[in-house]
Amino acid sequence: MSEQTTGRAAVMSDYKEDFEIREYPRPVAAPGGLVVEIDVATVCGSDVHAWQGNLALPVDPPLILGHEMAGRIVEIGDGAELDSVGQRLELGDRVVWAHVPCGRCHECTVLHQPVLCARRYIAYLTSCAEAPHFTGTFADYAIVRPEAGRVRVPDGVESSWASAGSCALRTVVKALSLAGKIDHDDTVVVQGAGPLGLFATALLSIHEPRKLVVVGGPEDRLELAREWGATDTVLVDPSADPAGRIAEVTSITGRGASVMFELAGAPGVMTEGIQMMARGGRYVMLGTLGGRPQEISVSTIVTRGITVIGSMSGEIGDYHTAMQFLDRYQDRFDWNRMLGNEYGLDELADAMAAMRRMDEIKPVIRPSRQT
């Protein structure tokens, strides 16, 4: 573990601009909080959207992007000796952690869904101009605030897996909990073959639905989806008429999707997805955060009795479930297949561009990497 008194961070000063490497004093743990040294941080699509200026959440530059991570504890504040599920924490342990809800609003106290808190503190979208500076995870260090849920990473889980799972997988875990029961009679369709879609495919395959169809691309990602349990895949050709995909999914499933997960965030994805639904089906949306409005057939939702469910992010229990899933099923799923190249902090713009081009599923940022 490092004994440095300062640390570097890749700072986004403005939209679409290259990142500036700045050095700040190493933070100090508050009572109930932690200071971690970032082992690995992976790139999320929302990082790219924030960088490009089209994320449907407030963004306050200058800031340090990054919210997927596995960090090694270098300082434990008083009262922070246990994680959020009661596991003891020691120096050198790796943790993942959540955004900070207010803990007082209706959503936090009555609904018990702090992820819906309107006053939730989202560190990586908050200005880093003032101390303690280390808000996002594209940096040498990060702080885990006293109010933030945190979970110890199992020893058998690699940091890069934990980082990817700390966002995409826990988000899918949350969505599956809202979707309701999925059994052998269901025909399940996943829209999207990115990190969300691939993790969803792995999770859903454990339920062994009659059909598990992944709609997306490119072809190498669909190949991975099949390896991870998809019974069928449908390649999305942006130049093709969506009617062809709708007909293909309907043919594969027999009557349409009894459960569908929107994990693509692409223009028109809901417009298309609703037309693939079976009567009485459940349409779970979690891939779209921003972008242009989409036209949907409300009459189709009504006449087919479709239930539309919105899901975002995940609670701290979902983080724990995600880490346990990565550990338990690592012999069944090769999690490394999802990971892209490794980049240093000064190569962050290259990593973001690679994800934006869909060259890589999940680029890996390793701050200790020397370039």
pLDDT along the chain (371 residues), means of 10: 82 94 97 98 94 87 96 98 98 97 94 91 93 96 97 98 97 97 97 97 98 97 98 94 96 98 90 97 88 85 97 95 98 97 97 94 93 69
> Same domain, yes or no, for 12 and 47?
yes
Q: In CATH, what number is assigned to the domain containing residue 200?
A: 3.40.50.720
> Same domain, yes or no, for 272 and 208?
yes
* Contact between residue 363 and residue 66 where contact means Cβ atoms under 8 Å apart: no
The predicted-structure confidence for 256-302, as pLDDT tens digits, reads as follows 999 999 999 888 899 999 999 999 999 999 988 766 788 888 999 99
Residue 316 lies in a domain: no
> Same domain, yes or no, for 75 and 151?
yes
> Same domain, yes or no, for 21 and 116?
yes
The DSSP H or E segment spanning 317 is helix 316-328
Torsion angle of alpha carbons 255, 258, 264, 267, nearest 10°?
60
> Same domain, yes or no, for 74 and 103?
yes
User: How many domains are there within the chain?
Assistant: 2
Q: In CATH, what number is assigned to the domain containing residue 54?
A: 3.90.180.10
> Same domain, yes or no, for 192 and 286?
yes
- Candidates 91, 169, 181; CA nearest to 338 is 169
Residues recorded for the chain: 371
Q: CB within 8 A of 258, min separation 6: which ones?
A: 185, 186, 187, 188, 278, 280, 281, 282
Residue 28 lies in a domain: yes
> Same domain, yes or no, for 37 and 66?
yes
> Same domain, yes or no, for 334 and 300?
no
Residue 50 lies in a domain: yes
Residue 224 lies in a domain: yes
Residue 321 lies in a domain: no
Containing structural domain, residue 23: 6-156+330-365
Using alpha carbons, list the distances in angstroms from residue 151 to 13, 42, 175, 266, 322.
31, 17, 19, 32, 10
Residue 325 lies in a domain: no
> Same domain, yes or no, for 272 and 345?
no
Cβ neighbours around 262 below 10 Å, total: 28
> Same domain, yes or no, for 71 and 24?
yes
Q: pTM for the complete prediction?
A: 0.94
The predicted-structure confidence for 17-35, as pLDDT tens digits, reads as follows 999 999 999 999 999 999 9
Residue 354 lies in a domain: yes
The predicted-structure confidence for 226-244, as pLDDT tens digits, reads as follows 999 999 999 999 889 999 9
Q: CB within 8 A of 285, min separation 6: which ones?
A: 262, 270, 308, 309, 310, 311
Residue 100 lies in a domain: yes
> Same domain, yes or no, for 199 and 334?
no
> Same domain, yes or no, for 79 and 189?
no
